[in-house]
Structure 1
Amino acid sequence: LTANRTNDFSPNADQVFGGKVEKWIKFANSLKLRMAIRIRYADATLAEQMVKEAISTENGQVGVMENNDDNAFMKVSLNPFYTIFGWGDSRIGADLLTYMNAYEDPRRSVYALESTFTDSSITNGYHGLRIGNTHTAVDAKMYSSMNVTATAPLMWMNAAEVMFLRAEAALLGWDTKDTPENYYKTGIRLSFGQYGASNVESYLEGTTAPSSYKDPKGTYTVTLPGSAVSVQWSGTDNEVNLERIITQKWIANFPLSLEGWADFRRTGYPRLLSTPNNRSNEIIDGKFARRLKYPQQEYNTNKVNVEQIVSTLPGGDKMSTHMWWDCNPRLSNE
C-alpha cells in the first residue's frame, strides 16, 4: 500500500510493547489461543490441549492478555486505513453498522464518521455501504467513512478478543476458570474501556436485535438471514450464545477484518447481508468466499508447487473452496 514508505510498517519491540518481554509472552500465548479456537472443528483434541497450554498460569507461566494494558498496538507514521479511506472508494460496511445501529452501540462514533448525504430526504447518521453495490462513486463517498487519523497505531490483538476466545473455550468446557457469560461480558467491557465508550452496563442488557439493512439511497434494503442475536446473555443454548460471542468479538475486533472472516467461515456468525451482485468472476452459487485464489503470478513463477497444492484442494483453486480448518459440519453446504 505504501511502497514508497518502506519503513512505516516495520515492527520492532519499541513500536509494540517497548521491549517488555512479559507482554510479548502474553501476546504469544494469546495468539496460540486464537489458533487453538480456529482449529476446533478440525482437531478438537489438539485445540483443547492448546487452549489449556495458552491460558495456564502454573509454574510461573504468565498466561494470556487480561486487560487493555496488554493490548498489542504497533506505532506507525502513516496508518494504511487512513490512506485507503482517504482515497474515497472505501467506506464502512453495511453489515457492521447495521448491527451497531440496532444495538445503539456507543462505539459507532469511535469507529465511523457520519454520512454526508446532501439529499434533504436523508437523515445523516451511521450508514454503511453494502458489498456488491452499483452506486456511483459520488454517491458511495457519502456513506460513513472510517474515523481514523494518519498516525493512529495499528491493532494486532486486544484483550477483548482474548476474553471472547475464552468464552468460546468455556462453552466447550476447555476453560473452567470462569463462565462463558462472565468472559463474554468482560470482553465487551474491555472493548468499551479500550475506546472510552460509556454506558456499557446498559449495553449488556440490550434486548434489541438487528433484522434488516435500509439503504439511505433506497436501493439495497434487505433483511438479515435468520434471527440475529441481541446483546443480552440469556438461556443455555450454546449455539445461540456462540453467535453472541462471535458477533461481539467481530464488533470489538474492528478493523481486523481477517479475524472476522475467519470466524464467519468456521461458525457462520455473525449473520451477514447477502451480496446483490456477485463480482468474484466465478460461480459461488450464492455462497460467501471461503478463501483467496492463488494469484496468476504464482502460477507463472511457482507453477509446479502451486499445482501440487491445488491438486489436494477438494474444490480446486476457487474462492468457494473450504480451508482445512473451515470444516464445521453445520456449514458443509455454505
Structure 2
Amino acid sequence: MTHDFATLSDFRTCLAGCTPADDDMRAAADAHNMQLTKPPGALGQLEDLALWYRSWRGGENTEISTPQVIVFAGNHGVAARGVSAFPAEVTAQMVMNFQHGGAAINQIARVNGATLDVVALDLDQPTADFTQAPAMSEEELVAALQAGWDAVNADADLLVVGEMGIANTTSAAALACALLGGEAAEWTGRGTGVNDAGLSVKTQVVAEGVTLHKGQGDGLETLRRLGGRELAAMAGAMARARDLRIPVILDGFICCAAALCLEHTQKGALDHTVAGHQSAEAGHARLLEALGKPPLLQLGLRLGEASGAALAIGLLKGAMACHASMATFAQAGVSDS
C-alpha cells in the first residue's frame, strides 16, 4: 500500500499507527531456538538477532533471501561554508559511480546478495544554508520523506539505507546536538577528512545552526530545519519498512542521525532496527548509546553510503540460516541433556 503525505502531520500519524513487534512470534522463535543442536546461548548475539528478526517477520524456517540496499543522495547549501574537504559537485559524481557499479557499496551489496537502488534527490537544488534559515520547507521535507517511502521494495525481507551528500556530516552533527544536547564540538567530526582549520569552521557552523533552530519542534521539525533531503529520505524509508514489518540495519553517523529524528517524534519508531556498525566519525558511539543500539561491527569505517550496514547483512543472514536450518535435537537424534 502506498501512502501520500500531504503534511508532516500525516506522516506523524503514520508513525504513531505502526504496529509493534509480535511477542508471541518471538516466544515461538525462542522455543525453537532452545531445541537446536547447540548449547543454550552458544551462538551469542546471533541468537538474539534471530529472535528479533522473527518477531518482525514471523515464519518458522525463513532465511533472508531478498535484502535491499538504498543509497539516497542530496546536496546541502551549508556546503558553501567550507565544511567539507570536497566540493558539492562530488555528490553527483559519486551517484554516477554508484550507478556504474564502481563504489564500495556496489561490491559489498553484491557479495551479500542484496539489490542496490540509488535515489538522487534534486541535486541541482541544494537545501538552504541552515545557519540562515530552515534547510527545507515543509513541502520539501514531505517530498523527501515520500521519496524514501516509495523507494522501499515491499518484497524485501531486510532493508539497509545509506547516503551520499557533501556536507551531510555537518547536518548530522547539528541534528544530534539539537536533539541530544551538549556542545557542537562534541558532535562534530572530520567527515571526509577536513583539516584542523576546516574542523573549526565546521564546528562553528554546527553551533550557529543549533542556536538558530534548537527547541523549535519535534524530531521531524528539527529534521526540516537542520537536515537534508537524503536524511529525510532515509527516515521515510525506515518508516515504510516499519509499516511493512521489514527489519532494518542502520548504517553510520548520518543514517543514525536521521533515525534519531524518528525516535524523537515517536518513541519506539526504531524497534525494527539494529545498528550495523560503529563508525570512526566523532559522535557516532554517543549517538548509538542514546538510541540504545549496540553496534554489530566496529571496523573504523567512515565512508557512509550504507557500507558498514551492508557488511552486517552477512551476520544477519548467518543468524537466520542457523535459526531456520539447523537440526533440532530430535531431528538429529542428539541428546539435549
TM over 0.5: no
TM-score (normalizing by structure 1): 0.25
The structure, 1 or 2, with the larger RCO (C-alpha pairs under 8 Å, 6+ apart) is 2
Normalised by the size of structure 2, how large is the TM-score? 0.25
* Bigger helix fraction: 2
